[in-house]
Each structure stands twice: as structure tokens, then as C-alpha cells.
Amino acid sequence: MKTIKGTLNFGRFEIPYRRYGDHPNMLMCVSGALQTMAIWRTVVKRFTDHFTVVIFDMPGIGRSEIKSGGAHVTVQEQMETLHALLEETRSEGELTLAGSSWGTALAAAYAAVRPDAVQHLVLSSFGMKPNAVMEEIVRRAVILYNDGEYARGGDLILEMFGNQLGDAYKRQIIAQFNSLNKAHAEVCYEHCKNILKLGSLQDTVDLTQITARTLIINGADDNIIDLEDMWIAQRLIPNCECRLINGVGHFLHFERPELLDDYEKFMVHRQPYHAG
């Protein structure tokens, strides 16, 4: 399998990325807040026979670097980084954007602003706005940051919405936060502060402009997302189907690996998710 380990120097950011395979169709994976490109490891393994798969670290996350300016990375900067990376790595075929958690907001916004560029859209753990549980998480995360207790952020995640994860992934989250340096903690702090200021996604993004064939998939036990948000989005996005998975929380295929079979049905075989 052809693999490119690259670095995108864009504006004030240095963005590491990996490009796997040499297929004309591309799958670009957009991570959630604080998630590194490593979360897509099983997706890369599963889909490189069908796509060129690109994964990357968002500005201020993982191995990326903010070379100048403050720690706050605006939504516009994240969108521009995503576009620059697509320009850097783009194949000639169709583009599938797959977003996880906060990455779903970025992927949906990009597909709305550039509808001709995105043919397929997968939004996993998708919400339109922060709910009461998320507001409480943000409040507690800010306190931890102010107290310099960066490592306890991992405990907070597991307590509030990661209790259904397996032990191996729980250990990964704890290890990630144990190694969190002050610069990355500041990025997290700035992101947390601004989550509540963003309001509802539909107030800033015209979801009706999305032309991509879209799947929204959420866990029924995900307590940081109001589940009615995906039904609102389904009414706004012209070609959209939604799937609610019982017994699963925020981390979807990490909690139930066989969900990758259903992603394949939608992304590769171009079948409706519910098809037998």
C-alpha cells in the first residue's frame, strides 16, 4: 500500500498528515476536538482498498504545531486548513468526508460551502449545538485547566461520556491526557471556552446547500448530543438518512467495531444504510 507521510505548512500552522493508498476516490477523515489522527487507524485498515484515505491532526492537536499567534484556532481557520489539505492531497475521483464528533460540524460546513466538491458525507456522533451535559463538561474542563490539572481531563471524559468504551481505548485516553503539554492544553481550553459561544450549527451553516449523499449516525446512549438534532438536520439536508444505534454511546465503532460493516455498505457499495 502506497503511504505518504507529509506535512502541510499553511499560514501559522504546521499540519502532519498521512495519505494511504492510490485510489482515485478519496476518503478524508475529520477528527473531533482533541482527537488525533490515530483514532482513524481501524478506518484506514478497512477502507484503503476502496479509497485513498487521508488522516491528519488539526491545528494545535497531536503532532501539529501553531507557529505563531495565540492558541485559539477559529472555526474559519479550521475550515481553511481542511480545504488546503484537500488541495494538497486530492485525488481525481469522488470525495467522501467522514467526520467524528466536532469534526462533523466542520465536515458539514465544508460540504455546505463547497457542495460541488463533496459527493458523500458521513457524520458520526453529530449534534447541532452543545447540550446541558456538554455545558457541564466544558465548565469542569475550564476549572481543570485553570488549576493546571491537565491529566484529569481524561478522567472527566471517561466519567461523563466514555464509560461504554473498552479498557484498551480508555487507557489510550488516559495516556493522551497524561502526556498533554501546556500548549496543547491551552488549545483545549480555548476550544472549550468557545464551544458555548458558537450557538446552533444551523444559525451559521446553511445545511440546505449540501448536495452530498449524507449519512448521520448517532448512538442512542450518547448523552452529550441531543438526539433530535439529527432529525432536524435530516429535514434540512436534501439527500440525508439518519441511523440511531441502540446500546451505543458517543464513540460508535470503538464501542461496536462491527459498525464498520455498515459504513462500508454506505460508502463503498452506495447502498442505503438500512438495506439488507
Report the percentage of the chain scoring pLDDT > 70: 98
C-alpha cell at 26: 478519496
pLDDT at 276 (0 to 100): 36
**What is the value of pTM for the model shown?**
0.93
pLDDT in tens, 119-170: 999 999 999 998 999 999 989 999 999 999 999 999 999 999 998 898 988 9
Long-range CB contact pairs, 228-235, < 8 A, 24+: 229/126, 229/127, 229/128, 229/129, 230/126, 230/127, 232/128, 232/202, 233/108, 233/123, 233/126, 233/128, 233/202, 233/207
Q: Is residue 273 scored above 60 in pLDDT?
A: no
Confidence grade of residue 179 (pLDDT, cut at 50, 70, 90): confident
pLDDT in tens, 217-261: 999 999 999 989 999 999 999 999 999 999 999 999 999 999 999
> Does 3-127+206-267 carry CATH code 3.30.360.10?
no
- Partners of residue 240 on adjacent β-strands: 214
- CB-count exposure of residue 268 (10 Å: 0-12, 13-18, 19+): middle
